[in-house]
Amino acid sequence: MVRAWSYAAIAALTANVAMGYDAVKCSTGSKCPSSLPCCSQYGECGVGAYCLGGCDPLSSNTLDSCVPAPVCKSDDYKLTSLDGITDKTKYLGDATKSNWVVDGTPLAYQDQVLLTMAPKTVGTVMASSHYVWYGSISATMKTSRGAGVVSAFILLSDVKDEIDYEFVGVDLESAQTNYYFQGITNYNNGGNISVTDTFNNYHTYTIDWTPDQITWSIDGKVGRTKKKSDTWNSTANRYDYPQTPARIQLSIWPGGLASNAAGTISWAGGPIDWSGPDIKSNGYYYATVNEVKVQCYDAPGNVTKSGSTSYIYADSSGMEGAVQITDKGTVLKSLLGTGVNMTADLPTSSASNSEIANIPGLNGGGPGLFGGYQPDGSSGANPTKNANPTAFNQGSSGSKSGAIKPEGERILKGSLFAGLIAVVGTMIL
Ligand SMILES: *[C@@H]1O[C@H](CO)[C@@H](O)[C@H](O)[C@H]1NC(C)=O
Ligand SMILES: *[C@@H]1O[C@H](CO)[C@@H](O)[C@H](O)[C@H]1NC(C)=O
Ligand SMILES: *[C@@H]1O[C@H](CO)[C@@H](O)[C@H](O)[C@H]1NC(C)=O
Ligand SMILES: *[C@@H]1O[C@H](CO)[C@@H](O)[C@H](O)[C@H]1NC(C)=O
């Protein structure tokens, strides 16, 4: 059960130390500094949660800055409550204790989990704690609806290989499928599958991902197949095919946010109406998830294996051959740890007034790349720039997730003391 701890209380306690600072950006061409070694999924440097799921080894200070990733585990996750869902501020990498790590506000409702997006928030992303390196993944869900409101079920690797289902809220009769290799935009990768009213009906969306092909199926019927052999890039002399361990991500996000690129807004069906019917009746837009099934496939036969616990990247190609399976641990001692110092602990005194980014935030641009728009040239999966910080107020009072961000902050600004409080909170719960 995810329990709330009051951000307001922490904000009050840390008012003296949690001062604003500019996020340090990262990309493959501009790696993180050793003081903030980990490049988050959203392209910003930090420690702690920045080094866990989504940490990009190719944009981080060194290949081992990111914490090793928990290996695939076959399971049937019944999403009937918030059990097994951990807020990102409380997750230290132990996939045996958390199935999902959430950023935003999930709610339990009648044996289902709602991923919510209240007015002027950037929505909710729920990511699996275990990675999948080939497998069959099925999500039984209902999408959100409304102009500019996007729901997604994707696989996203730390080097930005991606396999998608995306649903734009103005077209409830179509599942948009896509894939990307290392975050490279390619407008020929998409494909649509017809489906009946995705908001009112549960459908089971399956991604079957093998070293040779991807199939997208809805309710057991194959809608699209992409073979690896059809992804040859003759310029680069390689297959531009998703091939690295990926997390499962289910999300609702504001594609129609005014600060997003014009092409994104138009792809998402236009600007979001923050007083639409779902907002009027519930106070938020929402996608409904009921079950996620994961069946792991074997890792490639030629993989270098020295254990069975975690995936690491052993070279900077970002290709399948760079991945190894090891027995290295996946759990940090505190949110000050990194892949190169996993036992780093919090200071014993709260008198320290240094602060350090340790919990990355959402930015409204969605969890991965997405179809139908021209990104603005920034690298990686973070095409939303200049998001207006004052437009965000993640969550609402009474949130069950503990992920409430103070108004006016785009990134949750961790501080040593906030980290300390987070750990104390975890111990109390
Ligand atoms: C899928 O549907 C969307 C919305 O109708 C459209 O913009 C897009 O071009 C379609 N994609 C493909 C590959 O047909
Ligand atoms: C082929 O690879 C090159 C080098 O990474 C990339 O710039 C290009 O976009 C790729 N081609 C396609 C069609 O994706
Ligand atoms: C396995 O062999 C294939 C074909 O030679 C190669 O492309 C791939 O990188 C190798 N994978 C690993 C994990 O070593
Ligand atoms: C790890 O971090 C701790 C601070 O918690 C520090 O005392 C220790 O020297 C670090 N170890 C290494 C190997 O950097």
Q: Ligand 1 within 6 A of 174 CB? A: yes
CA of 184 to the centre of ligand 2 (A): 7
What is the predicted pLDDT for the residue at 416?
36
Section 361-368 average pLDDT: 73
pLDDT at 259 over 50: yes
Alpha-carbon span 262 to 374, nearest angstrom? 9
| Residue among 35, 62, 341 to mutate when testing ligand 4 (max atoms within 8 A of CB) | 341
Section 325-348 average pLDDT: 95
Alpha-carbon span 117 to 127, nearest angstrom? 16
What is the predicted pLDDT for the residue at 297?
98
Domain 75-296 in CATH 3.40.50.10860? no
Q: Ligand 2 within 6 A of 236 CB? A: yes
Nearest ligand, measured from the Cα of 167: 1
What is the pLDDT confidence band of residue 127, given thresholds at 50, 70 and 90? very high
Alpha-carbon span 198 to 203, nearest angstrom? 7
pLDDT at 248 over 90: yes
Nearest alpha carbon, ligand 1 atom 1: 192
Nearest ligand, measured from the Cα of 150: 1
Residue 20 has phi, psi (to 5 degrees) of -70, 155
| The ligand 2 atom nearest the CA atom of 233 | 1
What is the pLDDT confidence band of residue 384, given thresholds at 50, 70 and 90? very low
Nearest alpha carbon, ligand 1 atom 9: 372
pLDDT at 235 over 50: yes
Alpha helices in 207-261 (DSSP H): none
pLDDT at 429 over 70: no
pLDDT at 95 over 70: yes
Q: Is the pLDDT higher at 130 or at 185?
A: 130
Section 395-419 average pLDDT: 30
Nearest alpha carbon, ligand 4 atom 8: 344
The secondary structure of 76-144 as a DSSP string is EEE-SSSTTEEEGGG--S-TTT-SEEEESEEEEETTEEEEEE-TTS--EEEEEEEEESSEEEEEEEE--
What is the predicted pLDDT for the residue at 349?
66
Q: Is the pLDDT higher at 410 or at 56?
A: 56
Task: Give the lowest-confidence range in 70-74, 204-208, 357-361, 391-395.
Answer: 391-395
Which tens digits make up the pLDDT trace of 145-169? 999 999 999 999 999 999 999 999 9
Nearest alpha carbon, ligand 2 atom 9: 184
pLDDT at 427 over 50: no
Alpha-carbon span 381 to 40, nearest angstrom? 10
Q: Ligand 1 within 6 A of 264 CB? A: no
Nearest alpha carbon, ligand 4 atom 12: 341
Q: Ligand 4 within 6 A of 34 CB? A: no
| Residue among 179, 231, 235 to mutate when testing ligand 2 (max atoms within 8 A of CB) | 235
CA of 146 to the centre of ligand 4 (A): 49
What is the predicted pLDDT for the residue at 337?
97
Which tens digits make up the pLDDT trace of 279-302? 999 999 999 999 999 999 999 999
Nearest ligand, measured from the Cα of 176: 1
Which tens digits make up the pLDDT trace of 134-150? 999 999 999 999 999 99
What is the predicted pLDDT for the residue at 21?
59
Nearest ligand, measured from the Cα of 304: 3
What is the pLDDT confidence band of residue 366, given thresholds at 50, 70 and 90? confident
Task: Give the lowest-confidence range in 29-33, 219-223, 389-393.
Answer: 389-393
Q: Active-site positions?
A: 162, 166
pLDDT at 176 over 50: yes
Q: Ligand 1 within 6 A of 171 CB? A: yes
For residue 302, give every residue at least 6 positions away whose Cβ sits within 8 Å of its Cβ, in sequence order, or none.
none
Alpha-carbon span 124 to 252, nearest angstrom? 6
What is the predicted pLDDT for the residue at 108?
98
What is the pLDDT confidence band of residue 118, given thresholds at 50, 70 and 90? very high
Section 120-124 average pLDDT: 93
pLDDT at 385 over 70: no
Section 12-35 average pLDDT: 70
Please give the structure tokens belonging to residue 416: 């040593």
Q: Ligand 1 within 6 A of 266 CB? A: no
Nearest ligand, measured from the Cα of 230: 2
Mean pLDDT (the chain) is 83
pLDDT at 81 over 50: yes
What is the predicted pLDDT for the residue at 84?
97
CA of 85 to the centre of ligand 2 (A): 37
Please give the structure tokens belonging to residue 275: 């007083």
Specify the pairing of strand 100-103 against strand 85-87: parallel
Q: Ligand 3 within 6 A of 212 CB? A: no
Section 359-377 average pLDDT: 60
Q: Is the pLDDT higher at 78 or at 14?
A: 78
Q: Ligand 4 within 6 A of 341 CB? A: yes
Q: Ligand 3 within 6 A of 320 CB? A: yes
Q: Ligand 4 within 6 A of 326 CB? A: no
Nearest alpha carbon, ligand 3 atom 9: 321
Task: Give the lowest-confidence range in 5-9, 68-72, 352-356.
Answer: 5-9
Q: Ligand 4 within 6 A of 352 CB? A: no
What is the predicted pLDDT for the residue at 425?
34
pLDDT at 210 over 50: yes
